[in-house]
Structure 1
Amino acid sequence: MEPRPRQRRRKAGTEKPRTIHDVPDDILRQILLGLDSPLWLLRAACACRQFRRAVASADGGRAFLRLAGSLHPPVVVGHYHNRSVRPIAFVPSPWPLAPPIDCGRFALDFLPRRIITTTDWVVADCHGGLFVLWDSQNSPPNLIVCDPLTRRGQGIPHPPGKRAGFVVALLDGDGDGNMSISNFRVLYYCFHGDGAPPQVCVFSAADGGDGWRFLRRPPSAGSNYLGHVAGRVDGSIYLDSVAGKVRVLDNARLEVSEVHLPIGIDKSKAPRRSSFTVVHGAGANPTSPPSTWIIHVHGEELEFFRRVRGCSGGEWVLEHNIPKLSEVARGLLAGCPEERLERTEEYVIAVGTGTAVLSAGDRDERKLLFSIDMDTKKLQVAPKEAYRRTNWTFTYTLPWPQLLKACPS
């Protein structure tokens, strides 16, 4: 019988094998920063007290959650579709673009039937796990803010004097900035029937909030808020203005400033409205901020601006342009002789992580859909079934779990 190999005796005083529990919290946080979804972060926090303390402790957890949210693009669960002949519908993002979750939770069946069975109610904005509905057939419109994760909705009273207008954006809540069905704000643009300049007011649902309040701005500043939400970058709201420019609304101070884009399109040659859309993509590595683009559409011309971060917060550079979509589409539609684009106009109807969906209509009012990969700027023909009868979509993203609290030791 062969002799057994001699086992090495452990020397007295040597250290025991280390485990994950011996990793310091600061190093553990660096590892957890690689998790690109709040779902995975929640699951990690539920694994053990050490992970939960690293994620949500009072001395560093809140800063960690803010940093983790800034380093990853929002997780796009799906889109709410405003349709021309059907009620609002939720369309989930396909796996692996979205985590495997119960998409039935995002249906609107927790609201009264008179709301979910009519096309009068439309989505006005979607942010922080909430979305706001408004009744487009009433003036002033009825407003409801909904949280599909908790399946709760809260009606909002009309602005003072029942002034007509429309919702501009959902804002983060008062206080520590956390957003929930009991802590949110709504920015509302008011019209006046007597010819007076429009005004902007904000509704606050936070505890101790005073309901509606008008912003103290010069009368000429009211028009700065006019437009729809193009997207959100670093906590600020980008507004696609009717003047063909992009303005940024500071979420805290509610002040508006203009975004400087190096636009190369000569808009004087074609009197069409410009539209702008913000798209986020993954960063170069798990610990780098997400890439951010703005798509500028004017007629059938497209420009793609990428944000270059620097010491001043970043600037926008022109990364790519498509002078005429119909020429690009001719090659994509070569195998479909019944499809063609002539004298087309387009607009972005949906965005995902690093992708966008472009709707194009020609003089015969046929609509074609194209998907755009923002990294390569490559276009592909997209199936029309998912966006049939869709006028506009609103992206629903999972909120980062900023309300996590550490377990007592």
Structure 2
Amino acid sequence: PRPRQWRRKAGTEEAEEPRSIHDVPDDLLRQILLRLDSPLWLLRAACAYRQFRRAVASADSGRSFLRLASSLHPPVVVGHYHNCRVRPIAFVPSLSPPAPPIDGGRFALDFLPRSITTTTDWEVADCHGGLVVLCNSQNSPSNLIVCDPLTRRYQGIPHPLEKLAGFVVALLDGDGDGNISISNFRVLYHCFHGDGAPRQVCVFSAADGGDGWRFLRRPSAGSYYIGHVAGRVDGSIYLGSVTGNVRVLDNASMELSEVYLPIGIDKSKAPRISTFTVVHGAGANPTSPPSTWIIHVHGEELEFYRRVRGGSGSGGEWVLEHNIPKLSEVARGLLAGCPEERLEVYVIAVGTGTAVLSAGDRDERKLLFSIDMDTKKLAPKESLSPDEGDSHQFTYTLPWPQLLQACPS
């Protein structure tokens, strides 16, 4: 239809001028841009129009806007890195919606030296903020490399002091403003002294001079930094232990604290390890924080905890939302030949509001299932590679453009 003509107000002699995008206040424009659920669309909006760029990246309010936009949307999953047994590290693009239209070849690690990309000695240890940290599994102490697939840059990390053997725990945000980049990152490293000496944890900082290593003091509660990376929530890293508890490591203070989960599984009935995985999903509406879950797996029993904001803690509390007492019974009707005996279940990959479960029986058969975190419905999933069901996959997410700056022109 033709646009409605602007009419002259009663008592005035001049007609109102037609309004344009120039008349939209920056505050209202930011509320519109907050609905963009991907940093790709935010970057394109900033590049398309000077007013959009000013609203997104102005010196006075741009940084706070980007932080708010990041907190309101789950990380954008573009794919997963696989540590393969018989071939080098592989990147598999995400097929789960809303997967961004990105060429998966852009995330290949072929820019690294051939001694790394042509052998199976190197493994991915963690992914965070657009960076990937790799370690050499054949060396003790391990060589470390941090790389940025988007910029195709990488940096080798020297051994810790005294060449202590150990393993990489996690990538951490850089010092200062909390951003992470190839020139500003930290790596958490768990050290083994040997000869019965107490273990220690040290942190490498790319922003420090010299070798960049410093040791952390031992937690007062007697707990350790050791644990697999369960995920990240609000800038803090969650570490899950096989004994069945979760600790959160504050990114700024490097202090550990316990996470209370109302675990209902009776672990005394089956001497199996516990694993924990954090999964993010879209919020109830575009301006609400993303939903966050923790999946607890013990044998073939699963529990799903949802984070409820406004609880007793400063960041909310975790409540038990759903449980699956026996996955083999639930999955029996989904796949022909699903074993009736007890399974060993692992979460091998996560997406936006989804997770991939690998269930194995005593004959070492692997069954893959995807699970929707909102509905808790299981669906059979076909394997994309021979090794997909055998090892953990490392989720690669796009970094939010926190360093976006407006040009004066």
> TM bucket by the smaller chain?
over 0.9
Q: Report whether the alignment pairs 1:261 with 2:227.
A: no
What are the superposed Cα offsets for residues 247-298 of structure 1, whole Å, 9 maximum, x if unpaired? 1010001111110000000001101000000000000000000000000000
Q: Report whether the alignment pairs 1:110 with 2:129.
A: no
In structure 2, how many angstroms separate the alpha carbons of the residues matched to 1:79 and 1:253?
A: 30
Q: Report whether the alignment pairs 1:356 with 2:358.
A: no
In structure 2, the gaps of 5 or more residues are 1-5
What are the superposed Cα offsets for residues 142-196 of structure 1, whole Å, 9 maximum, x if unpaired? 0000100000110000000000001111000111122111110001111102311
Change (3 A) 1:373 1:239: same
Change (3 A) 1:22 1:296: same
Pairing of 1:197-216 with structure 2 (within 5 A): 197-206=198-207, 208=209, 211-216=212-217
User: Cα RMSD between the aligned structures?
Assistant: 1.8
Residue number in structure 2 paired with 1:134: 135
Secondary structure in 1 matching 2:332: helix
In structure 2, how many angstroms separate the alpha carbons of the residues matched to 1:210 and 1:259?
A: 33
Mapped contact 1:197–1:219 kept (Cα < 8 A): no
- Partner amino acid for 1:76? V
Identity over the aligned pairs, expressed in percent? Answer: 82
Residue number in structure 1 paired with 2:3: none
Change (3 A) 1:295 1:9: closer
In structure 2, how many angstroms separate the alpha carbons of the residues matched to 1:85 and 1:255?
A: 39
Change (3 A) 1:29 1:207: farther
In structure 1, the gaps of 5 or more residues are 1-6
Secondary structure in 1 matching 2:42: helix
Change (3 A) 1:35 1:85: same
- Partner amino acid for 2:106? R
In structure 2, how many angstroms separate the alpha carbons of the residues matched to 1:307 and 1:182?
A: 33
Change (3 A) 1:341 1:182: farther
Q: Report whether the alignment pairs 1:58 with 2:56.
A: no
What are the superposed Cα offsets for residues 71-114 of structure 1, whole Å, 9 maximum, x if unpaired? 00000000001122221100001264311122211001001111
Change (3 A) 1:207 1:201: closer
| Per-residue deviation, 1:332 | 1.1
Change (3 A) 1:101 1:251: same
Mapped contact 2:8–2:16 kept (Cα < 8 A): no
- Partner amino acid for 2:276? F
In structure 1, how many angstroms separate the alpha carbons of the residues matched to 2:385 and 2:44?
A: 31
Mapped contact 2:309–2:317 kept (Cα < 8 A): yes
- Partner amino acid for 2:167? F
Residue number in structure 2 paired with 1:4: none
What are the superposed Cα offsets for residues 45-73 of structure 1, whole Å, 9 maximum, x if unpaired? 01111111100111110000000000000
Pairing of 1:2-401 with structure 2 (within 5 A): 12-94=13-95, 96-206=97-207, 208=209, 211-217=212-218, 221=222, 223-310=223-310, 312-333=314-335, 336=336, 338-386=337-385, 388-389=387-388, 390-401=390-401
Instruction: Provide the aligned length of Structure 1 versus Structure 2.
Output: 399
Secondary structure in 2 matching 1:42: helix
Mapped contact 2:218–2:224 kept (Cα < 8 A): no
In structure 1, how many angstroms separate the alpha carbons of the residues matched to 2:242 and 2:324?
A: 22
In structure 1, how many angstroms separate the alpha carbons of the residues matched to 2:7 and 2:202?
A: 76
